[in-house]
């Protein structure tokens, strides 16, 4: 199975979408946010939530790129906030379990600028 964090490293999203999602990260509350975004019960594991969020975000991005009239920027930002927060939580959990961080101690949002572009998780 492909590592979810590695999969995120290949995604590219508009700068404004990512900047807006990073602003919303400080208000993220897992239980309430995931229930709303995933339209149901929040998965207990960060990896399971991240897998679902990647699927939802992929469908939203397809709608965005096609100019679909049903595309909701607000919903896309909401999903991106959850995706960034869950990726950060998964990364921190892995680092804690290994006791040797794979990544610097900063949040996932710090990796977004690592490649020189403001693309989505470009250096995770």
pLDDT tens readout for residues 103-113: 544 445 444 44
Q: What's the rounded Cα separation, in Å, for the pair 66 and 43?
A: 30
pLDDT of residue 41: 78
For the chain, what is the largest distance between any 2 Cα atoms, rounded to a whole number of angstroms?
Answer: 47
- Report pTM: 0.73
Confidence band for 32, pLDDT divided at 50, 70 and 90: confident
User: Is 20's pLDDT higher than 70?
Assistant: yes
Instruction: Compute the distance between CA of residue 80 and CA of residue 24 in angstroms, rounded to an integer.
Output: 9
How far the first Cα of the chain sits from its last, in Å, is 17
Report d(CA 97, CA 73) in Å as an integer: 36
Q: Is the pLDDT of residue 118 over 80?
A: no
Residue 121 has pLDDT above 60, yes or no: no
The pLDDT value recorded for residue 102 is 52
pLDDT tens digits, residue range 46-105?
A: 888 988 999 999 999 999 999 999 999 999 999 999 999 998 888 888 777 775 555 544
| Residue 99 structure tokens | 């006791």
Q: Which residue has the higher pLDDT, 98 or 26?
A: 26
């Amino acid at each position: 199975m492909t590592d979810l964090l590695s999969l995120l490293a290949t995604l590219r999203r508009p700068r404004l979408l990512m900047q807006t999602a990073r602003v919303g990260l400080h208000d993220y509350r897992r239980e309430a946010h995931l229930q709303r975004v995933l339209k149901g019960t929040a998965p207990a594991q960060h990896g399971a939530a991240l897998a679902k969020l990647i699927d939802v975000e992929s469908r939203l991005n397809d709608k965005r790129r096609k100019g679909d009239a049903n595309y909701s920027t607000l919903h896309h930002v909401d999903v991106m906030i959850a995706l960034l927060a869950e990726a950060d939580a998964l990364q921190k959990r892995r680092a804690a379990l290994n006791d040797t961080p794979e990544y610097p101690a900063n949040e996932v949002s710090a990796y977004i600028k690592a490649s020189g572009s403001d693309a989505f998780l470009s250096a995770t």
